[in-house]
Each structure stands twice: as C-alpha cells, then as structure tokens.
Structure 1
Amino acid sequence: MTSTPSSPTARDEFLAGMRAELPLLLGVVPFGLMFGVLGLAAGLPAWAVVAMSSIVFGGASQVVFAQLWGAPTPPAVICTTVAVVNLRHALYSASVAEWLRGLPWRWKLVLAYLLTDEAYAAALVRFRDGPPGAYRHWFLFGTGFTLWTGWQIATVGGVLVGAAIPPGWSLDFSIALTFIALLVLAVHRRSELVAALVAAAVAVLAQPLPHKLWILAAAAAGIAAGLAARRLDAGRAAVEQTP
C-alpha cells in the first residue's frame, strides 16, 4: 500500500513563501534604498520617510508622493495621484479572492496590507499551480512578510546614505532609470505595452500642466488604454475560438 504525501503545514507554506520571495529582493532592495534617499532630498524628515514605508508600503506610490511633496503640490493632487497609482492592488485582491474567501477578517486585513507587486506575483503561482491545502494563505504571508522586512531595511539604509549626500546632487535621473527597469520587467502582454506607451506619450504632452498633474493624467490614460487593449484582445480571442 502506498502512502499519500501529507498536506503542507502552516510552517511549510510560510517558509516556501519566504524562499519564493528572496530572489525578488534583488530588485526591491535597491529601489528601497533609492526611495530613502529621494525622500530626504524632497524635504521629508527621516522619521517620515521610514514611517511611510511601514504605513503606505508601496514603492511606486511612495516615490510619487515624495516627488510631488518636493514640488510642492496641493495635498488633494498628491492623495489622488497616489490613489490612482495604487489601484492595481485592488485588482490583485480580486484575483486572489477565490483562494482567500473563507479566511477570517483578521487574516484578510493582514494579507491585504502585505499584498504588493512582488508578493502577489510569487503567491499567484502557488495558488494556481500548487496543491490545495488549508494553509495556502501562509504562503502569501511568507512572501509579503519577507518583502515587507526587506523594504523596511532598505528604506532605513537609504535614509542613512541619503543623509551623507549633498543637497545639490540631483537624484531624479536615477529614479527614472529605476522605473524604466521595473517597467521592462513588468510588461508581458500587448495590453501592458499599450498602457505603457500611451502613459509615456501623455506624460510628455502633459508636461505644461501645473502641480505635476501630468502624472495623474498619464496614469489615467495608461489605465484606460490598457483596459481597452485587453478587451480588444479578449474579443479577438473569442472570435478565433468560434468554430
């Protein structure tokens, strides 16, 4: 008689999530360092830079916030822009809801806080392709906790390094290069490429807008273009599958 393998325990899932997330820290840590430096250059106090990484915990939105803060920009524009940048997290939540639906609210709140780009990417593979189990949510907890820890350490490191950088040094070019690198790695579908190209074009054309509103305009245009391209691709695929 053959024995059936036992289901993964909570500890097994948590450690597997950590292992899946560790390679992604190679790109996260430099980004966190850069945010710490940028936050200080934008005029934020060191404690606020570190606190933002704990409270907001969203690299792209934190960088956008720091850039708008240093402009300076009206608070309403800052809040709206950051909210638009973070809209993708709602899509992440919707896509994993079927695997987390039965969890109590305390778990849902913790996992929602930890559900960022890299944590979601690693956990989605486990949810879709891995074996079913009662502790699958611990895998997402492992990926999110690992990312959160690395992001906090990287931010503190950036603050310490940034304190030694002369105020006259410009850091905007390095932030742009960082986002370009992240964009290249993130684009996998035609709809994503369309969204990126439209957002880039609008960002250039909308530069004359006051209060850095070009960021909000580019984000909105990119999202709209990406959704339209995805619907068009889905329509074409449906037509091709029709006998």
Structure 2
Amino acid sequence: MGLFSYLAAQPRHPEFKRGAREMMGITLGISAWGLVTGVAMVKSGLSIWLALLMSLVVFAGSSQLASLPLIASGAPMWVLWATAFCVNLRFVIFSAQWRLYFGHLPRWKRLTLSYFAADLNYVAFLKRFPEPRPAPEQEPYFWGGVALNWAAWQLPAIAGILLANHVPTEWGLGFAGVLALLGLSYSLLKDRNTWVTAAVAGCAAVAAYALPLRLNIVVAIAAAVAAGLLLEHWLPEPKGRQEQTA
C-alpha cells in the first residue's frame, strides 16, 4: 500500500471520526496560536515564501515562536538549532510512548506519523488507548485527530502569513497568542509533578531573562527537565493517580 492510498483509507474507519471529534474542542486555541505565529513570522522579517515553507516543514509552533526572535536578531545558527532542539525535546518522550503502539509498523509509516505528531494529540490518544499495546483502530484514531489538528494550525497560520502586512500591531495578537499558549499548557498540567515542573520552568525563564539571544528559554527547558527527572525519582505519583490522569 502506497502513502496516498494508506492516507485515503483512514477516513473510512469509525475511529477516524472519533479522533477528529475529540480534538474539536481545542481547535480554537490551536487556530489562534497558528494565526499569531503566521503573523509573527512575516513581522520578524521572513519573506512570505520562506514563512510558508517554515510553516509547512517545521510543524512545531513552539519551536517556530522560539526561533523567530533569534532569526530577527541575527543569532548564530548553532543557537537557533540548539533552541529549536531543546524546545522539541518533549517529542522524544512522546515518541517513546507511541513506539509501544506503532513500533511494529513499517518505517515509512512511522516517519509519516512522526511528522504529524503533536502535543494534544498525544494527550487525547493516551486517554483513548491507556493500555500500551497495538490495536487496529489506533491508526485511524490517530489520523482523525492529527488531520483536524494539522488543518486547524496550518490554515490560520497561512492566513496570518498572507495577511500579516494588513494586520495592525494594535490588535494585540501577540497577547492572544500568549493566551492560546497558556490554554494549551494548562491542558497538559495533569498532576503534581507537572505543575511543579511548570513552575520551575517559569521561575527559571524569569530569572535568566537578561541572557542574550533568548537563552533564558534554553535555561528554562533544562531546569524543567531536571526538575521532572528528580520528581519522578524522589516523589513518584501513586499508581492509581497515574491511571486516573492517563
């Protein structure tokens, strides 16, 4: 089965519709974030064509937003790559968990899945399939969620790119983007350890704000990862609580 026939077969499965339906409630925040990111890319000095390429190829909003100030300030390439790498480190954890479900698939399928993988799809998927074992309905469910998520991101982002020069800065879209990010972040704070880790990251980002080239973002990520690992070792969540929040 080729890639296009594989993708075309997914919407026929009932789980595809369920995956899309369960993502529907959070698409408004994703769309607002995508619109803000599209406007920000052009306002940061990227050409329309380069911004479109970045939106379609770098399907990771947080790393895009983290990279834009560095691009605008002429930061060295290694800083840009290091920042994007650190911001996206969470996908290593997501992928390790998804491997329990999709590890048996051919490599080309896994590579295709990896491009569309996103934070909130990960959360919805684990709620739907808490048992880490493969099942036939998992792929259609995954594709239903990511199809809606991808469209909810890309369409507003492309609109923001094309209309960026006509959007006044007085509209305060940057603040709307912050609100969207806060909403998305809040949905991922599911237990004590994640709340403490988020607080540590926030404090570290503020404490290191004076660092050049937005390196406070890298410091915050490092502090959050260290705090998360320490909490998992010293204060693991009770097993019953983990099952409830999964």
- With the shorter chain as reference, the TM-score category is 0.7 to 0.9
Structure 2 stretches lacking a partner, 5+ long:
1-9, 240-246
Structure 2 Cα separation of the partners of residues 9 and 211 of structure 1: 44
| Match of residue 192 from structure 1 | 194
Higher mean alpha-carbon deviation, 168-177 vs 95-104, is at 168-177
Comparing 201-210 with 78-87, which one deviates more in the overlay? 201-210
User: Across the two proteins, how many residue pairs are aligned to each other?
Assistant: 230
- Residues 111, 150 of structure 1: CA spacing in aligned structure 2 closer, same or farther, 3 A cutoff? same
CA distance in 2, matches of 1:172, 1:27: 13
AA aligned to 1:233 is L
What is the TM-score when the length of structure 2 is the normalising length? 0.83
Over alpha carbons, which structure has the higher Rg?
Answer: 1
Check the 8 A contact 1:196/1:222 in 2, yes or no: yes
| Map of 1:179 onto structure 2 | 181
Q: Are the aligned partners of 1:119 and 1:140 in contact in 2 as well (CA < 8 Å)?
A: yes
Q: 1:163: Cα distance to partner?
A: 1.8
Give the whole-Å Cα distance in 2 for the aligned partners of 1:225 and 1:124: 23
Q: How far apart, CA to CA, are the structure 1 residues paired with 2:184 and 2:200?
A: 17
Equivalent-residue separation in structure 2 for 1:128 and 1:39 (angstroms): 37
Secondary structure class of the residue paired with 1:163: helix
Q: Find 1:106's aligned residue among 108, 131, 152.
A: 108
- State which of 118, 121, 124 in structure 2 corresponds to 1:119: 121
The CA deviation at 1:182 is 2.7
Q: Which residue of 2 aligns with 1:32?
A: 34
Structure 1 unaligned blocks of 5 or more: 1-7, 239-243
Detail structure 1 runs of 4+ shifted over 6 Å in the superposition: 129-132, 167-170
Structure-2 residue corresponding to 1:3: none
Q: C-alpha separation between the residues in 2 aligned to 1:211 and 1:233?
A: 35
Distance 1:69 1:100 in 2: 36
Say which structure, 1 or 2, has more relative contact order (CA 8 Å, 6+ apart): 2
Shift of 1:10: 5.8
Task: Provide the rounded CA distance (Å) in 2 between the counterparts of 1:131 and 1:191.
Answer: 26
Match of 1:81 among 80, 83, 86: 83
Q: How does 1:204-219 map to 2 (within 5 A)?
A: 204-219=206-221
Which residue of structure 2 aligns with residue 13 of structure 1?
A: 15
Identity of aligned pairs, percent? Answer: 32
Distance 2:44 2:93 in 1: 30
| Aligned-CA RMSD value | 2.6
Could you tell me which amino acid in structure 2 is paired with residue 31 of structure 1? W
